[in-house]
Amino acid sequence: MNTQLAYKETLNSLLQNDPQLNDPATLEGISSLLGKLAPLVQGQRLHNLVDLLSALSDVVDMTDDAMVQKMMRTYEDLAAGAFSLANLSRFAAAHAGSEEQPPTAWQALRRLNSDADARRGLAMMLAMLSQLGRQARLGAMALPED
């Protein structure tokens, strides 16, 4: 009981003697903040915010160097992929736009057939589509019972 009284006196002393806390603008700001926090406290929604901050703090505590390195590698891979796709798109648009007369479908297929890189790219796209189809098939399967 004695320590509670000491805490109250310390808090009262701080509130009365701190010039920043006695500034009218500070008091008005605190009053406005309390007005906005009141519905959150009354509806116990502030508890959710505290729980969220606690969970975020736990994630920060659990994050080790290996996890950060994996996340950074994933970010770098995504950024590099987006950069490559943007460059490929610009190059293809410039190439297609520079032709006076666009090729017919048969002419485009003949060009594709004679270009090893184009065939390699097509094979890569077909392999990617195959994997997407496999994932779609597996995702549509019924989950086993527990």
pTM to 2 decimal places: 0.47
How many other CB atoms are found less than 10 A from the CB of residue 40?
13
To the nearest 10 degrees (0 to 180), the angle between helices 24-42 and 46-62 is 90
Q: pLDDT per position in the chain (146 positions), as tens?
A: 577 777 778 888 887 888 888 888 988 998 999 999 999 889 989 899 999 999 999 988 888 888 889 999 999 999 999 999 999 999 999 988 898 898 899 998 898 899 999 999 999 999 999 999 999 999 898 888 86
**Residue found under tokens 């065939």:** 119
Is the CB of residue 83 less than 8 Å from the CB of residue 76?
Answer: no
Question: 126: Cβ–Cβ under 8 A, 6 or more apart, which residues?
Answer: none
Cα four-point dihedral sign 102, 107, 108, 114: negative
